[in-house]
Amino acid sequence: MNVIEVKNVWKMYGKLVANEDISMTVNEGEIVALLGPNGAGKTTLVKQIYGELSPNKGEIKVLGKKPTDRQIKKLLGVIPQECEPYGDLTVWDNIYYMGRLKGVSKEVIKNRGEELLKRLDLSSKRNTLARDLSGGLKRRVLIAMALINDPKLLILDEPTTGLDPEARREVWEILIDMKREGRSMLLTTHYLDEAERLADRIYFLSRRIIVEGKPAEIKEKFADWYEVIDYANGKVYKVKGEEELKRLIMNLNGKFEVRMPSLEEIYLQVIRNAD
């Protein structure tokens, strides 16, 4: 089943086309990443998916309903871009009030909130004001707030931007855990390693969808060149196709290394060609 279905969506700001004829899906239990340069339209698209904006044309279904359906809000966990917990509230109060806003009963919040504090390693910070937390801890509080209604679907707009490498990895581990529990996720990111680590499928977006697929499929489809580092003379060769590669290697004496393009290099190549 598709938990998100976007069909031929167009979104304009005046004359500027931010989303051009976008069709995409997130299947149950999947993590899908939207990757694109600044201004590619990622935030615009996710805002329409969680009902903060409406498309000019096209249709969006979330868990089978329109994103603006009041019931949907209660079933979603959303972390918008550059969002922070309320600085003047404690960690616990942030989680508690978000639960109340989503219509979760006090009893359930108490139990689930305690569980989330433990799980996200926030128990010792429960009475700390959110403004006194580090960036990584603030992000964990946002995750707890997004999970307080036990959502089937999480929408995360750049969940690790601004975090240090260790905090990023901690967030990844939490998200992988969420997936193991069967939750579906749509995330936007600038980080290729994040998409590769987390996503079952990726959409490259640059106003429109440029490429879609599993990370390994995308690599296989677009990785039509090799880099050969010849350690004997320090030269680096770039060759296209296996035949050319074989020919080059036959002529090398001594140690060499063959490297295929990374997802990042493929992304840059594909996005550049799309402009």
- Residue ranges that bind ligand ATP, judged by CB under 6 A: 13, 16, 18, 36, 38-44
Helix (H) or strand (E) holding 9: strand 2-13
Instruction: Tell which residue, 164, 188, 192, has the closest CA to residue 79.
Output: 188
CB of 18 to ligand ATP, least distance (A): 4
CB of 26 to ligand ATP, least distance (A): 17
Residue 152's contacts (CB-CB under 8 Å, 6 or more residues apart) are 3, 63, 75, 182, 183, 184
CB of 34 to ligand ATP, least distance (A): 8
CB of 136 to ligand ATP, least distance (A): 20
Instruction: Tell which residue, 158, 263, 245, has the closest CA to residue 201.
Output: 263
Nearer to ligand ATP, 64 or 162 (CB): 162
Nearer to ligand ATP, 13 or 231 (CB): 13
Nearer to ligand ATP, 38 or 253 (CB): 38
Q: Residue 3 and residue 38: Cα distance in Å, rounded? A: 26
CB of 167 to ligand ATP, least distance (A): 20
* Cα end-to-end distance, the chain, whole Å: 34
Nearer to ligand ATP, 40 or 228 (CB): 40
DSSP letters spanning 251-272 = T--S-EEEEPPPHHHHHHHHHH
Nearer to ligand ATP, 41 or 151 (CB): 41
Q: Residue 26 and residue 167: Cα distance in Å, rounded? A: 26
CB of 219 to ligand ATP, least distance (A): 23
Nearer to ligand ATP, 43 or 184 (CB): 43
Q: Residue 71 and residue 274: Cα distance in Å, rounded? A: 38
Tokens of 57: 């044309």
